[in-house]
Amino acid sequence: MPGTVGFIGLGAMGGPMAQNLVKHGFSLVVHDVDPAKTERWRARGATVVGSAAEVAARVERTISMVETTAQAEAVIAGEQGIVHTARSGHVVVSMSTIDPIAARRLADRLASHGIAMLDAPVSGGTERAASGGLSIIVGGAPETVAACQDLFRAMGANVFHMGGWGQGLAMKLINNMLIHVNTVAVAEALVLGVKAGLDPQAIYDVVRVSTGNSYAFEMRVPRMLKRDFAPGGTVDISFKDQELETAFAKQLGVPVLLANVTQQ
């Protein structure tokens, strides 16, 4: 039976993910630095508290969906962090896209207190967050992953266990690198085709059934043809993710020339 879960970070992704937990019968204890967000959740019946530490003190499993590595570190190990109040056996599910090496350090810190951690970043954007169609890419102990399947199935359509701590994030950064590079390639190819006198719709029709097709092409070009340039996210988040990709590659000594050009 669904129980009570902690949820920290109720933004563009976290809010819809939390809502899907509620739809599946979970009760929530929530925290966000933005009082307007938490008040909306109070009106929906969630228990609102003032810190990550207070969340962890009230539940056995806590989900964190914040934006940056620094924010994740503060939520987990800061002065008002989870580590100070979570009891032995607690599970922290960090669903943010952050530095995999920093995530491993956080997992080690929690493990020293008897607290389990999963890195479980998501892919799919705000639309799939709302529909419950996210891909959830997990790193951590198999038994912990198994114990959190009910949470993952409430928020996502696909769950992949990649290995130990940090491996979920490593896979997420690889996926992000591909979509970022492909998106730039799609834009350049479409401009080149138009400059050559080709009809944009014809470009789409040909590429969609040919070897140049990609998820980025099928997702982006129809919106370009409709002149629909409404943002699906923020430039800050996209650039943050690209910085993570190139920094991670540098840490591992892997040249990623296309990713570097895309970031520029």
189 in helix, strand or coil?
helix
Mean pLDDT confidence for 5-25: 97
> Residue 46 is encoded by which pair of tokens?
């969630």
Domain of 202 in residue numbering reads as: 171-263
Same domain, 61 and 160: yes
At 99-110, the pLDDT tens digits run 999 999 999 999
Single residue among 100, 132, 164 that ends a domain in this structure? 164
Same domain, 48 and 120: yes
Single residue among 133, 164, 195 that ends a domain in this structure? 164
Active site residues: 172
At 35-85, the pLDDT tens digits run 999 999 999 999 999 999 999 999 999 999 999 999 999 999 999 999 999
158 in helix, strand or coil?
strand
- Give the per-residue pLDDT at 27: 97
Same domain, 152 and 212: no
- The C-alpha atoms of residue 61 and residue 23 are separated, in whole angstroms, by 18
233: DSSP letter = S
Mean pLDDT confidence for 118-141: 96
- Give the per-residue pLDDT at 160: 99
- The C-alpha atoms of residue 72 and residue 97 are separated, in whole angstroms, by 9
Are 129 and 16 in contact by the 8 Å Cβ rule? The answer is yes
pLDDT band at 233 (very low <50, low <70, confident <90, very high): confident
Q: How many independent structural domains does the chain possess?
A: 2
CATH code of residue 256: 1.10.1040.10
- The C-alpha atoms of residue 242 and residue 44 are separated, in whole angstroms, by 35
At 142-199, the pLDDT tens digits run 999 999 999 999 999 999 999 999 999 999 999 999 999 999 999 999 999 999 999 9
CATH code of residue 20: 3.40.50.720
- The C-alpha atoms of residue 106 and residue 117 are separated, in whole angstroms, by 8
72-to-93, 103, 197 alpha-carbon distances in Å: 11, 9, 49
Same domain, 95 and 197: no
Same domain, 150 and 53: yes
Same domain, 143 and 103: yes
- The C-alpha atoms of residue 159 and residue 171 are separated, in whole angstroms, by 12
Same domain, 129 and 244: no
| Average pLDDT over the chain, rounded to an integer | 95
Mean pLDDT confidence for 5-23: 97
Same domain, 124 and 212: no
- Give the per-residue pLDDT at 238: 86
Single residue among 131, 164, 197 that ends a domain in this structure? 164
pLDDT(228) > 90: no
- Give the per-residue pLDDT at 229: 85
User: Apex CA 258: angle with CA 257 and CA 260, to 5°?
Assistant: 65
- Give the per-residue pLDDT at 1: 58
